[in-house]
Amino acid sequence: MWLVDVSIRRPVFATMLILSLVVLGIVSFGNLGVDLFPKIEFPYVSVTTQLPGASPDTVETEITDVVEEEVNTISGLRQMRSISSEGVSQVSLEFELEENADVKAQDVRDSIAIITGDLPEDAEVPVVAKVDPDAAPIMSIMLSGDMSVRELTTYADEVVKERLQRVQGVGSVSLVGGREREMRVWLDPSAMRARGVTADDVVQALANENAELPGGRLEIEGRTRQFGARTLAEAGTAEEFGNLAIAYRPNGQTTRIRDVARIEDSVEDETSYAQLNGRPGVVLEVRRQSGENTVEVSNALRDEIERLREGAPEGVDMVVARDTARFIESAIEDVLFDLAIAIVLVVLVTFLFLLSWRATIIVLLAIPTSIIATFTAFGAFDFTLNMMTLLALTVAIGLLVDDAIVVVEAVQNDIDGGAEPRKAASTATQRVALAVLAGTFATLAVFVPIAFMEGIVGRFFFQYGLAIVFSVSVSLLVAFTLTPMLSARFLRPEKGHVGWLGRIENFHKALRSRYESLIGWAIRRRYLVLLGALVSVFIGGFFASLVPATFMTSTDRSEFLATVELPLGTGIETAKDAAIRADQALREHPEIDLVFVTAGAGTNQSTNILNLYVGLTPKNDRDIHQGEIMSFAREALAQAVPEANDLLAEDVPWVSGSGVGQMAIDLVVTGPDLESINDYAILVADQMRASPEFVDVQTSYEGGRPELQIRLDRNRAADLGVSARSLATASQTLIGGTEAGSFEDEGRRYDVRVRLEESRRQTLIDIETLPVRSGDGTVVDLAAVAEVGVADGPAQIDRIDRARQISVRANTPPGVALSTAVDRLDEILAENPPPEGLETLTEGMARRLADTADAIIFAFILALVALYIVLASQFDSFGQPILIMLTAPLSFSGAFAAMWLSGQEMSLFGQIGLIALMGIVMKNGILLVDQANQYRDSGEEAAEAMRRAAPERLRPVLMTALAAIFGMMPVAFAQSDGAEWRNAMGFIIIGGLTTSTFLTLLVVPAAYALPSDFRRFWLRITNWSPLRGTG
């Protein structure tokens, strides 16, 4: 090869060629971001429309159905879901992953613009937005101390929030548990009735009398001077608000706000709550800007928090309750540690076979040069240092030295045989060039399809596959440039070793001698050997049936989430009491270090939902698995909060924004009638609760929402001249409260809220006696025009693809794989088929498991086709690629046996490891067949050629195999936080490569002689004698 010869003749050229790639890699490395997983953009769009005061039924028919009918025509739509709740319609659109999210968002906006006129007049303009996976908070900061909640909220809002928002990369900061200053106008219905004043009168007075309006410009002295004019009539204190006039009476008396209300400079209603380890406070939830690096933003936030602590008021504590970057940094450090261990193990394996420090150093130079040069491609393709790319480099460690091992071993053999180093470097490299190229291209043929798989799996493994492709490609270049150049200049004849090295050398010689005898037996008894190989495949199938399947293995991250759903209508005080009990129950466990509870957080601000983040003792410092602690948490929460409707404990999701729920099982029941759907959903849920394969069983239906209903009597209302809108407006102000302006104090503005005194809105009688203005100007009781009562109704109506639906969701307990739970669910559905008119479909992680299977099968077939094309092209043969590809099934027995013995599940990473195994194991067969072909070209018979070739290639075969095996050991046996997700890949490659290497050394030589046997058999039955031998 000209490149090899040029590199040997011009060592500076070879050095500079590789050094240039290394320099570019170092430069690129400094600009690489750090993240947990590759950034994946999901083409999901939401349409949110508000219709204040409307019931879920009304929202569904008046808004949701209209929106769904229009957007359903957009191309590329995969699934449409909607939630119709009180006053809000939210339609979520999932498009095919191949679609562009920005384009689809614009298509949705265009469609919504068409039907805006068809929506109710009171409906607000629909808001169309892309679903951003970066919307989840990356950090939660708790403020607590010896301050009133108003003072603490003011400090959090005016100081801490303002400082944090200025940090580079921060998108938004929201407060939970805070109560901002607010001027409260507490109405007294008795005083209002006595003075003939309604709630609308008070609101109108605040709008008219509490104002600061511009008065234009005043020009004087011949327009040589100019003044701005303002009318200053804004109130600023409770006393000033009380003095505002509502009405002027004919007798000269003025009715003021203080005559009908109590004015209080106070705080807003308590709608959310937060506590950390039992201590309440104000929480700031920090979200990053879309596309910003989590670790960089988090580091900047930590620095700013330290500066804030230095200037914080005395007695105020500032604690980071949750920081997602901490696990990311820990996980990346763990993978880097695995990478370092893999390098050390590969160095040890290489030296123990080559027994030469010169040869070992030449081989190992392929590792840093290939890895560092790969960072150049990372920078060009906008990759980050994440779990996938670093795992790819760990997997590649054993592959990067393969080509260099084959070259150096061949050169060393020639030098030991008396050849001049430069000549040996040239001839030996060219002799093994075909094997090196075929082995590398076989690896690339496997990992390229992995990078370009369809669906979310393809997006997830895109960087993984290409990272290995980049690094292995660079190692091939190193093997044909730097490696032969260094071999020509530094390798020396290796004479007999003494001491422990001598004993190792004697072991190698004895191993080769015994293998020579074994290979002769295998060739003579080749049909028996092939029968044994077939048996090993069946053994692999047996163990494969014992290994359960899942989408993502449950991991121990030393943290988990929990949710407690209280009955609908639960107030904030009851939620606070439940939060305290939940916190105390969980912290009784000695391995639970942190319990962070919020209520009323999120976009819906549901006070009946408690969200808990639980931090544990680091995994390496405890003896029990996170799954056991989560089981304890379920039991503890059930005892501490017995009134809860649903309890849930689940792993922290690895990737947000995937469009599918994080729960393992999500069975969707659809149909036209919500009542029949709910009956069947309850039946299935009860069956699942009775099965040990499920935990956290719940349904999405929320019935029994208490609702105060004011039914207008149109006849009486018409007689008294009371309109429905005036009644609704008065009810809203008196019961729920209305913002009626704002006021300024020290440069900041605060709201003014009008509402009935709390003590005067506790019973139905209180509501019935609320004052409403009639058509003749007099004030009448609300009961004169309406009936007041309490009823129950659905909290929300869920739909999927325009059909009403209720979801039955569940997780799996420790020790139960997702495939096992899915099989049990299928049995339940078979025993309890849905009634006529109802249908079921599977979502959640179970759907991802099914989608993954299709993508993996496609990648597997594509890899097989690519492998055959590459090998057929390299060996210029249609038959020999099949011979080499026989090594792939030989790995199944060891791969699945290792999975079963280690208690692993066939997860997404295990399936990817199985595909990768095909390309790795075929290198052994390539080395044997290539050497045998060279002897056959010299005129030897097939059996004799393989009898000579196999012992000569024994050492490089064992070296490359053991390098890959030991390189994967840190991955297989990793015990750090969250390491379980990559253990399966390590065990499947180690087990598969172990059995495949052993069987390949026997099966390939045996199978290599089969074509000659077939040829002789064919000639025998056709009674034709060739003029020359058939060897």
Q: Encode burial over 135-173: b for 16+ CB neighbours within 10 A, e otherwise.
A: eebbbbbbbbbebebbebbbbbbeebbebbeebebbbeb
- Tokens 């219905």: give the residue: 189
d(CA 790, CA 706): 7
Judge whether 44-130 and 558-651 match in fold.
Answer: yes
Q: Tell me, what DSSP letter sits at residue 84?
A: E
Check pLDDT > 80 for residue 1017: no
Domain borders along the chain are: 1-31+355-495, 44-130, 182-267+706-793, 514-546+877-1031, 558-651
Check pLDDT > 60 for residue 1024: no
| pLDDT for position 1030 | 38
CATH of domain 514-546+877-1031: 1.20.1640.10
Please, are residues 934 and 940 in contact by the beta-carbon 8 Å criterion? no
Q: What is the token pair recorded at 499?
A: 């001491």
Q: How far is CA 879 from CA 166, 253, 445, 876, 1017, in A?
A: 66, 109, 18, 9, 17
Check pLDDT > 80 for residue 40: no
Instruction: Look at the domain 182-267+706-793 and name its fold.
Output: 3.30.2090
Q: Tell me, what DSSP letter sits at residue 126?
A: P
| pLDDT for position 702 | 75
% of the chain beyond a pLDDT of 90:
25
Q: What is the pLDDT of residues 982-1016, one digit of tens each?
A: 888 899 999 999 999 988 899 988 888 887 777 77
Average pLDDT in the 655-665 region?
60
Please give the model's pTM, rounded to 2 decimal places.
0.80
Q: What is the pLDDT of residues 631-647, one digit of tens each?
A: 999 999 999 999 988 88
Check pLDDT > 70 for residue 661: no
Q: Kindly report the backbone phi and psi dihedral angles of residue 553, in degrees, each rounded to the nearest multiple of 5, phi listed first.
A: -60, 140
| pLDDT for position 583 | 93
| pLDDT for position 704 | 65
Check pLDDT > 90 for residue 535: yes
Q: Tell me, what DSSP letter sits at residue 835?
A: P
d(CA 390, CA 395): 9
User: Any idea what the Cα angle at residue 195 is, between residues 189 and 198, rounded to 5°?
Assistant: 55
Average pLDDT in the 61-87 region?
90
Looking at 474-573, which runs of residues are DSSP E strands? 559-565
For residue 807, the surrounding DSSP H or E stretch is strand 803-811
Q: Encode burial over 928-942: b for 16+ CB neighbours within 10 A, e otherwise.
A: bbbbbbbbbeeebeb
Average pLDDT in the 618-631 region?
88
User: What is the chain's percent helix, strand, coil content, to nearest 5?
Assistant: 55, 20, 25
Q: What is the mean pLDDT of the chain?
A: 86
Chain centroid to CA 361 = 40
- Tokens 């001077």: give the residue: 225
Check pLDDT > 50 for residue 725: yes
DSSP string covering 18-71: HHHHHHHHHHHHTT--B-SS------EEEEEEE-TT--HHHHIIIIIHHHHHHH
What is the Cβ-side half-sphere exposure of residue 818, based on CA atoms within 13 angstroms?
25
Question: Hey, what's the torsion of the CAs at 28, 32, 37, 39, to 10 degrees?
Answer: -90
Q: Are strands 803-811 and 646-651 parallel, antiparallel or unpaired?
A: unpaired
Q: Kindly report the backbone phi and psi dihedral angles of residue 131, in degrees, each rounded to the nearest multiple of 5, phi listed first.
A: -80, 115
| pLDDT for position 672 | 84
Amino acid at 1011: P
Q: What is the pLDDT of residues 790-817, one digit of tens each?
A: 877 667 888 998 888 999 999 888 888 8
d(CA 483, CA 485): 5
Q: What is the pLDDT of residues 181-222, one digit of tens each?
A: 899 999 998 888 888 888 888 998 888 888 777 777 777 877
Q: How far is CA 994 from CA 174, 511, 512, 887, in A?
A: 54, 17, 18, 12
Q: What is the pLDDT of residues 227-272, one digit of tens each?
A: 877 778 888 888 989 998 988 877 778 889 999 999 999 888 888 8
Please, where are the H alpha helices in 417-491? Answer: 421-451, 455-480, 482-490
User: Any idea what the Cα angle at residue 570 is, between residues 569 and 573, rounded to 5°?
Assistant: 145
Amino acid at 209: E
Q: What is the pLDDT of residues 132-164, one digit of tens each?
A: 666 678 899 999 888 888 889 889 988 999 999
| pLDDT for position 604 | 60
Which class does domain 558-651 fall in?
Answer: alpha beta
Confirm or reject CATH 1.20.1640.10 for domain 1-31+355-495, answering yes or no. yes
For residue 599, the surrounding DSSP H or E stretch is strand 592-599
The CATH superfamily label for domain 44-130 reads: Multidrug efflux transporter AcrB pore domain (3.30.70.1430)
Chain centroid to CA 484 = 44
